[in-house]
Each structure stands twice: as C-alpha cells, then as structure tokens.
Chain A
Amino acid sequence: MIAAIAVGLVLIAVGLYGLAASRNMVRLLIAVEVVVVGALATLAPVLSTAPSVGLWALVLLISMAAGEVAIIGAVIYMTYAVAKTTDLEELRSGRDRP
C-alpha cells in the first residue's frame, strides 16, 4: 500500500508539472486528469482500511473530476468556436488566425 501512495504522489507531481509546462488547453485538461489519477492511486490504502469513508471520498473525487472536465471541456469548445485555436500563447497574443 505504501507503493500505491508513492506512485500516486509521483503522478500528482507529474500532473502538476504538466499543468505548469503545457501551453495548450487540451494538455491542461489531460494534466488535471493525471493529478486525479494520482489521487485515485493515493486513495487505495484509505479504501482498504476504512472502506465506507474511502468510497465516499472516491465518489467525491470522481464527481469533482467530472465537474472539472465539464467546465474545462465547455471552455475549450467555446474558445475554439470563437478563436479557432486552443493554444494559450496565441490566445494571449490576441492575433487573428487566417
């Protein structure tokens, strides 16, 4: 179970690195989900020792992940419909694409 916590923490760190380093909105969405997967792995020992608490924590985590994906996905669709790009650098510079 310690291995699950270690893997989860590494995945959370990798996801945070992806959040900091990526400049595309889709990659941001994927990096957020890597963090969620890391949290899922970290929850495994809790589920083993206290199943009811762990299950509710899991339900909460998955609900939060669904909310994140719904909001970020809607923002991506709307941004692409308006600006025809999902690249944050292009959005910041305000250039019109041909």
Chain B
Amino acid sequence: MKKLLTLLLTAAMAVSVLTGCGGASSSSAAPSASGATSAAGSQAAKDVKIGFIFLHDENSTYDKNFIDAAKAVKEKLGLSDDQVIFKTNIPESSECYEAAADLADRGCDIVFADSFGHEQYIAQAAEEFPEVQFCHATGTTAHTADLPNFHNAFASIYEGRYLAGIAAGMKLNEMIENGEFTAEEAKIGYIGAYTYAEVISGYTAFYLGAKSVCPTATMDVQFTGSWYDETAEKEAANLLIGRGSKLISQHADSMGAPTACETAGVPNISYNGSTLSACPNTFIVSSRIDWEPYFEYIITSFLNGEAIDADWSHGLDEGSVVLTDLNEKVAAAGTADALKEAKEKLVAGELHVFDTATFTVKGETLTSYMADVDTDANYTPDTEVIEDGYFHESEKRSAPYFDLRIDGINTLNEKF
C-alpha cells in the first residue's frame, strides 16, 4: 500500500513538474514575442490577449449578453481563438481571484469580469498584476480605488428602460381603448432582484416611460432576493398578475417571468435580450446593454497604448444601450415611431429620464439630492446629483445610484 502510494505520488509529481515547466516556458516566451511585434504598430490586433470571467454560462440571459458581445468583438477585430479566453461559471469568491490571476499567468493583457460580486477579487488581482488591465462591469469602486489598471464600466441602461416603458404605456393605452380595463386599473407589475440602486433606477425609469404616455399608470414591484432564480421569478410574476397587473417587466436573469407571462397571456417587456422565440404571443420589446462598444474600446485603447477610463459609461448615443426588434404582433400600433422619436430626444438632450418635474417623492418635487456615489460601508451620501432640473444618473459614476422611492410605485416587499 505504502509503496503504491509513493509510486502514485511520485508519478503525480513527475507529471506536475513536466507540465509546470512546459507552462512556464511558453508563458515566458509570450511577452517577449509580443514585445517584438508591437513595434510594427497599427496591424497590432494580433498583440492582444483578453480573458473573460463570466458568473454563469449561456444559460443565463445576463451572461449570454456578455458572451455574445465578446464573440462579436472577437469577430470584428479578427482575433484568433488563442487571443480570447472564456472562463465560465466563476463564482463570486476567491475562485474569481484565482481565475483572474490564472488569466494573467497565461499572458492576458486585459482581464474582464462580468458580475458585481467579482469586483473586489478583481481589484485584488489588479494590485498583484500592475501590468495587466482589469476591467469590471457594474462595479462601483474603481474611480476611488487609486489603482491605475483597475476599471469599471456600465451603460446608461435607464434610457433603454425608459424607452421600453413607453412601449409598455402604449400597450396599456391600447388595452384601455379596447375596453379590457379602465384607465385607473392600468397597473404594471415589475420583478426586481434586490433593492439595489441598479434595480431601483431601472424600474423607476421604466415606470416614468410608461407614465409619460399613460398618465394613470401605477406599478407594483416584487423583489426575489436573487439575480437568477427561475422559480421565484415565475412565482413573483404570477403573484403580480393575481394582484391585477396588466403588464409585466423584470430585472432578473432567468426566463421565469417571461414564461409565466406567456402562460397567463399577459404582455411582457423583457431585459437582457429578446425572449420572442419562447414567448411569441406576449413579448413586446426588450432593452439591453450592448457590451460590444466597450470591449472594442478597451482592446483598441490597449493596442494604442492609451489609458482606459476608470469609470466608463455610454448609452443610446454610442450604441451601448439598445432595444431589440419590436414584436409587432403584440406591441401597440405606432410604438416604433414613438420609440424613435423619444430616442432622438434623449440623445439630443431635449428629454431627461429623471426630469424632476415628472415625479414626486412623498408628494414633494425634489430640488436637491445627495447620492452615495463614492461607495463606503455606511452609504454616506456624498454627491449632489440634481442639477438643471433633472437627476444626473450614470454621470457621476458609471454604476447607477438613483435610489429614490417615487410616488406611484408600490414595493410589495423590501426585505432583499
């Protein structure tokens, strides 16, 4: 027994030493090779290696949105398989740090992680590998972290939510005109993951969009306490429908809510991407962040030797926030034109989503609000965000910080 064990261990050691040497020599060769060719200049797309860390895989609509964008940018810039590494199903634990460090070991110049909970493990890796650029979506701390190679990014998705809200409001108007219910009964149901600013900003923008065309609209919000919980999202949708919601939207990543709507025959505004194929009779439109512009930005910045923004956010103007194709079968007539018009106004700055004239908090119109932009454990409000008559979302920091509870929206549970 002992002899065999010794033998096994020796064999394992031998294998590890061999592969260890192999790995080390190839990775040490990589930087020198790229160093030599980078002098060649513009045809330098071959000099970059980028690693992606995803919380789940394509089965999550959230991660699929990132994965699709990464594949698209790979194609667009003509990167080879060796230059793009995907690590899927990386949890928000020290595994994330290990994955990031492993990507750096493999010679990645840029490492990107897609989930909020990855942030501090990415920052940890950024401290250890100063020569590698670490980019993280949805995070809040890069602009105050004082780490030149650590970057956050988001998109002003509230603009997309607002547009999707207009489509929702027009659908409600159509159903009122058809006599399906009265104007006072026009209630929207919304499923949110957590009582986090990103969710609050999203559902408020959605509601304001709907209210801009259907003034009597109200909204119920149910939280699930998870970004991905198919059962909970389905149950929440059914609960909201049971409480009289005429239309459902959601900010959570499973197919739970859209499929519940399809079963119940209630119109649904989706998120992260089209759910048309699964819900042909209820899907109207979906807003989503297109990460391709950001991926292209970080790769070209790296190739040109330019610094990457610590905190990057763009919206409708740069194509970072987009709407999917409208499902004409379900959407109200004229929706496409209304969306086009509103989009143009938003891009031109004539229309502001969080215009303080359009909403009240406890009956009051706001003139000043201090938001917690620089993250700290006590959520200290530190930045004035209402200027020129509107709430400046995503301008002081890429991740959303709109966390006001406006009138007309009724949150059913707050325990998440």
* A and B co-occur in one complex: no
